[in-house]
Structure 1
């Protein structure tokens, strides 16, 4: 049996063999998003995308890497992550020979050779080489949620609610080991590594490992020589903001 591909018909070059796939794709042009999250109001074109999104709210990450203990909401993200460990790059560009871990990254890369920008914004007609870049751009047009305490704006209601916990002092996530509380589940999860001894963040320059990504970032500056925190009055630079703050007190005294 011969299957005939159906063109999108919206001048984007996409074609599909399955009607359901074509229907889902057309929603990217019409903007139709029938599946809405009851927690934050965000909407999706597919039911599966909504189910994956809801895992963010409940903190569920069912796909765990046995090599580094990183967990993932989606199976596809887990499979892509495993290629970091295996070094597998199965998707190769026939134009320049570069290889990639994901088919979508290869496809976006190929647009750089052709000059094609197939992803267009329906509100201002700007075009982009990848769907990711289009989605980032579309946030400009989204309704913004304003924090009444500090004036900061957010693209999603859920992000605003999380942010407002900083002002209210609400710390709903408590560590069962030491009783420390945190405003976000991810902060609690980072903290708990102190108790478990887990150090998943490994330095690419030496054998040191860290329980928190921020500590690894600071440590790597020892190898790179990066000192991003600069004192404007005297021009000295420092590895950490706390070191700069300590210096500024002394620097201020000298200047006065």
Structure 2
């Protein structure tokens, strides 16, 4: 088959136990652990392989089926802090850094650091402007292949990233991660300059720029400047009139994907932001923050004339 084959069973005349090994047909990987070959084949993207048996131990003669339909990726490594799960332990370790705030991937001459090596690669491409991954259906190109795959779903309508806790599915893994926060409600990353807290360290980092005075990304067409390049790109669309994010349920289109997500809730009725004190829910986080002030009595907006 195209997945795994069972190597010859070796037995010793002095022992009654027999050892079964499994070899990947696509590379030199060999293991005696059936779960190990499952995880390995999942990483290859093998669609014909599926294991329905317990792990193989010494003395067992169970074979791994090589042609089973309806394969589903087995993800044995589950995060203890959120619903995500992974086929590889190394991916789980990288994911855990989004909870701990650890950022081991750095460049020599740049202060920014990242939890994932893939994010560092994206950052490097943004500096160079290189976009080697080109869409075959439209003129767009991307710095990383994962962004191209996500973009392709805008043509096909495919939404491969499915929530484990509700029926929703998403075209982008980042959107699924953001959605998962509506289930967990955990916000371990606290701003040291104000009371706000966030589920992801990247969100906290983005928020910190609202406190920072430095705004290195300057618009070439007007005096505005921004702390983040992504915000500058969204702003540039106000000059060009480009609105690439189109609603699937009505003719409206938007310059920013986050605005499209908020708009979509007017169709679906989704209200993910819930007050902890009275349980009223809102479609936008800004509306929840405004509502919270009715409980705290906070009035942050003062008139400058009286």
Q: TM-score, normalised by structure 2?
A: 0.44
**Structure with more helix by fraction:** 1
Q: TM-score, normalised by structure 1?
A: 0.52
**C-alpha separation between the residues in 1 aligned to 2:204 and 2:298?**
27
Shift of residue 183, structure 1, vs aligned partner: 5.5
Correspondence for 2:165 among 13, 35, 39: 39
Where does structure 1 lack aligned partners over 5 or more consecutive residues?
Answer: 143-153, 164-172, 174-181, 187-200, 202-211, 227-256
SS at match of 2:211: helix
Shift of residue 224, structure 1, vs aligned partner: 6.4
Residue 190 of structure 1 aligns with which residue? none
| Offset from partner CA, 1:10-46 (integer Å, 9 cap, x none) | 44x5311432220012223433222232334332233
Correspondence for 1:8 among 132, 135, 140: 135
Superposition pairs of residues 1-256 of structure 1, within 5 angstroms: 5-11=132-138, 13-142=139-268, 154-155=269-270, 182=277, 184=279, 213-214=293-294, 219-220=299-300, 223=303
**C-alpha separation between the residues in 1 aligned to 2:149 and 2:255?**
22
Residues 51 and 224 of structure 1, relative CA distance in 2, 3 Å threshold: same
**C-alpha separation between the residues in 2 aligned to 1:59 and 1:24?**
26
**C-alpha separation between the residues in 2 aligned to 1:7 and 1:24?**
12
Residues 41 and 97 of structure 1, relative CA distance in 2, 3 Å threshold: same
**C-alpha separation between the residues in 2 aligned to 1:85 and 1:4?**
32
Shift of residue 225, structure 1, vs aligned partner: 8.5
RMSD: 3.7
Where does structure 2 lack aligned partners over 5 or more consecutive residues?
Answer: 1-129, 282-288
**C-alpha separation between the residues in 2 aligned to 1:222 and 1:141?**
35
